[in-house]
C-alpha cells in the first residue's frame, strides 16, 4: 500500500458512500437498509469515543449488575448496550433486537417498527477493558417475515439467512468490517473527519495460514479431534514449519487478525462447556458469515456453522473458523473421529 499517496487522496470512499453505491444495484431499494446501517455506524462511533476516554470518565470497573450470561457487567457494557438499543430503535427500521446484555428480545413499538432484525454483542471482550486490549461490537442483520407481527421465531433463523454482518474493533484505531453479501470491506475511522474511510477493500483471507488461535488453558478438557489438530499445529509431521500461537482473548481482535493474516480461530466444546461458549446469534453467525464472504470457512465440529438453527436466543456453540484449508483439516479430523465410533 502506498501510504504517501493515500495521505493525499481527496476521493475518499466513506462507509455511507460505499453502502449507497451498493444500494444502486437494487432498483427497488428505498434506502431503509442504508438508514439502518448509518445508525449502527453512529453507535460504533459513540462507543469508540467512550472507550477511548473510559479511564478519564471513570467508566472502567463494574456496574454492580450481572447480565444474562452470568458475567459481571462493566460500566461500558451497560452504556454500549443502551447506545445501540436506542440508535437501532430510533432508526425506525427495526422490529426486533437481540442483545447479549438483555435476557429477553426487544420488540420495537409498532409506531417505530421496520422490517429488519438486528442481533448484536454491544461490547465483546469487555473483560479486557481495564488492561487496554482491543474490544469490539459484533452485529448481524436479518429480514423479518411479517413486520406487523414479529415473533421470537423470526430471529431463530440459520446464519444462512443473514443479509449483512460486521464488527467494529476499538483498538489502536477504530475499524469497522462489513459484508452485505458481496464480499468483505474494512473501514477505518478518521477521527478528524469523523468518517469511516474504506482502507481494506474486498478482504480475502489467505487459503492457508501460519497462525492458530485458541485458549490452550482448556486443553485438558478438549475432545480428541481438537487435541490432534493443535498438536499438528505445533508438531507438524509433513515437514512444514509449526504454526504460531496468537491468542488475545477478545473474539473481535482474534478474528480480525485471522481475517487479515489467515490461519484458524478455535473455540471448541470441552468437558466444562459441552455446547461451547460463544453465542450463536451474535458471535458465531456474524463472524462465520464474514469468514465465508472472505473465502474462508466456519465449522461447529458437526456442521457448517451457518447451517445451524438456534433453538433459543442465547444458545451457544463451538466454532472453528478461518482459512479454507485449515478448517478443512479440522473437519477431516472430526469426520475420522465420527467414522471410528
Distance from CA of residue 59 to its chain's centroid?
24
Q: What's the whole-number mean pLDDT along residues 241-264?
A: 97
Alpha carbon distance 333, 298 (integer Å): 15
The answer on 192 and 238 residing in a single domain is no
Angle between helices 324-340 and 224-234 (to 10 degrees): 140
Q: Given this model, what pLDDT does residue 160 score?
A: 96
* 13: in domain: yes
Q: Given this model, what pLDDT does residue 341 score?
A: 63
Distance from CA of residue 131 to its chain's centroid?
21
Nearest to 192 by CA among 339, 332, 2, 12: 12
Which range marks the domain in which residue 46 is found? 3-200
The answer on 24 and 166 residing in a single domain is yes
Mean pLDDT in the chain?
91
**pLDDT (tens digit, 9 = 90+) per residue, 101-121?**
999 999 999 999 999 999 999
* 236: in domain: yes
Sheet holding 319-322, edge to edge: 244-245, 211-213, 264-267, 319-322, 297-299
- pLDDT bucket at 130, cuts 50 / 70 / 90: confident
Single out the residue in 177, 200, 223 at which a domain terminates.
200
Asked if pLDDT for residue 245 goes beyond 90, the answer is yes
Query: For position 191, which CATH number holds?
Result: 3.30.540.10
**pLDDT (tens digit, 9 = 90+) per residue, 31-55?**
899 999 999 999 999 999 988 877 6
The answer on 149 and 282 residing in a single domain is no
The answer on 280 and 237 residing in a single domain is yes
The answer on 176 and 46 residing in a single domain is yes
The answer on 246 and 112 residing in a single domain is no
Asked if pLDDT for residue 1 goes beyond 60, the answer is no
* 231: in domain: yes
* 241: in domain: yes
Alpha carbon distance 194, 207 (integer Å): 35
* 270: in domain: yes
Q: What's the whole-number mean pLDDT along residues 160-186?
A: 95
SS3 of the chain: CCHHHHHCCCCCCEHHHHHHHHHCCCCCCCCHHHHHHHHHHHHHHHHHHHHHCCCCCCCCCEEEEECCCCCEEEHHHHHHHHHHHHHHHHCCCEEEEEECCCCCCEECCHHHEEEEEEEEEEEECHHHHHHCCCEEEEEEEEECCCCCCCCHHHCCCCHHHCCEEEEEEECCCEEEEEECCCCCEEEEEECCCCEEEEEECCCCCCCCCCEEECCHHHHHHECHHHHHHHHHHHCCCCCCCCCEECCCCCHHHHHHHHHHHCCEEEECCECCCCCCCEEHHHHHHHHHHHHHHCCCEEECCCCEHHHCCCCCCCCEECEEEECHHHHHHHHHHHHHHHHHC
**Cβ-proximal residues to 283 (8 Å cutoff; 6+ apart), any chain:** 100, 121, 124, 138, 251
Q: Given this model, what pLDDT does residue 278 score?
A: 97
Contact 175, 336 (CB under 8 A): no
* 250: in domain: yes
Query: For position 305, which CATH number holds?
Result: 3.40.190.80
The answer on 298 and 160 residing in a single domain is no
Single out the residue in 148, 176, 200 at which a domain terminates.
200
* 69: in domain: yes
Contact 322, 258 (CB under 8 A): yes
Asked if pLDDT for residue 139 goes beyond 80, the answer is yes
- pLDDT bucket at 77, cuts 50 / 70 / 90: confident
pLDDT cut 90: percent of the chain above it? 76
Alpha carbon distance 89, 116 (integer Å): 11
The answer on 331 and 271 residing in a single domain is yes
The answer on 286 and 151 residing in a single domain is no
Q: Burial, 283: exposed, middle or buried (Cβ in 10 Å; 0-12, 13-18, 19+)?
A: buried
**pLDDT (tens digit, 9 = 90+) per residue, 253-305?**
999 999 999 999 999 999 999 999 999 999 999 999 999 999 999 999 999 99
Q: Given this model, what pLDDT does residue 61 score?
A: 61
The answer on 216 and 176 residing in a single domain is no
Q: How long is the chain? A: 341
The answer on 124 and 30 residing in a single domain is yes
* 206: in domain: no
Counted domains in the chain: 2
Single out the residue in 200, 219, 235 at which a domain terminates.
200
- pLDDT bucket at 128, cuts 50 / 70 / 90: confident
Alpha carbon distance 203, 183 (integer Å): 7
Angle between helices 75-90 and 32-52 (to 10 degrees): 160
Tell which wins on pLDDT, 61 or 297: 297
Classify each residue of 56-87 as buried b or exposed e, where b means 16 or more C-beta atoms within 10 Å of its C-beta.
eeebeeeeeeebeeeeebbbbbbbbbebbbeb
The answer on 146 and 68 residing in a single domain is yes
Q: Given this model, what pLDDT does residue 63 score?
A: 64
Amino acid at each position: 500500500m502506498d501510504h504517501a499517496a493515500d495521505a493525499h487522496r481527496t476521493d475518499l470512499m466513506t462507509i455511507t458512500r460505499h453502502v449507497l453505491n451498493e444500494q444502486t444495484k437494487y432498483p427497488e431499494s428505498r434506502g431503509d437498509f442504508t438508514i439502518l446501517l448509518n445508525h449502527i455506524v453512529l453507535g460504533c462511533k459513540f462507543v469508540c469515543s467512550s472507550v477511548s476516554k473510559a479511564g478519564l470518565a471513570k467508566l472502567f470497573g463494574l456496574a454492580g449488575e450481572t447480565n444474562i450470561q452470568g458475567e459481571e457487567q462493566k460500566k461500558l457494557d451497560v452504556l454500549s448496550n443502551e447506545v445501540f438499543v436506542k440508535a437501532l430503535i430510533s432508526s425506525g427500521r427495526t422490529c426486533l433486537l437481540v442483545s447479549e446484555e438483555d435476557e429477553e428480545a426487544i420488540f420495537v413499538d409498532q409506531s417505530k417498527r421496520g422490517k429488519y432484525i438486528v442481533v448484536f454483542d454491544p461490547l465483546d471482550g469487555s473483560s479486557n477493558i481495564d488492561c487496554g486490549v482491543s474490544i469490539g461490537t459484533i452485529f448481524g442483520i436479518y429480514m423479518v417475515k411479517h413486520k406487523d407481527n414479529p415473533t421470537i421465531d423470526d430471529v431463530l433463523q440459520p446464519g444462512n439467512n443473514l443479509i449483512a454482518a460486521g464488527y467494529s474493533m476499538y483498538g489502536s484505531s477504530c475499524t469497522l468490517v462489513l459484508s452485505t453479501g458481496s464480499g468483505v470491506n474494512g473501514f477505518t475511522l478518521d477521527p478528524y473527519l469523523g468518517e469511516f474511510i474504506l482502507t481494506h477493500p474486498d478482504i480475502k483471507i489467505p487459503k492457508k495460514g501460519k497462525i492458530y488461535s485458541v485458549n490452550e488453558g482448556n486443553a485438558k478438557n478438549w475432545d480428541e479431534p481438537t487435541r490432534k489438530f493443535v498438536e499438528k499445529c505445533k508438531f507438524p509431521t509433513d515437514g512444514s514449519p509449526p504454526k504460531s500461537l496468537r491468542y488475545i482473548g477478545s473474539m473481535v481482535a482474534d478474528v480480525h487478525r485471522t481475517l487479515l493474516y489467515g490461519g484458524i480461530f478455535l473455540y471448541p466444546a470441552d468437558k466444562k462447556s459441552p455446547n461451547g461458549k460463544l453465542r450463536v446469534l451474535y458471535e458465531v453467525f456474524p463472524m462465520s458469515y464474514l469468514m465465508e464472504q472472505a473465502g474462508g470457512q466456519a465449522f461447529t465440529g458437526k456442521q457448517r456453522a451457518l447451517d445451524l438453527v438456534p433453538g433459543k436466543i442465547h444458545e451457544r456453540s463451538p466454532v472453528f473458523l478461518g482459512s479454507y484449508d485449515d478448517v478443512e483439516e479440522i473437519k477431516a479430523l472430526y469426520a475420522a473421529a465420527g467414522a471410528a465410533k
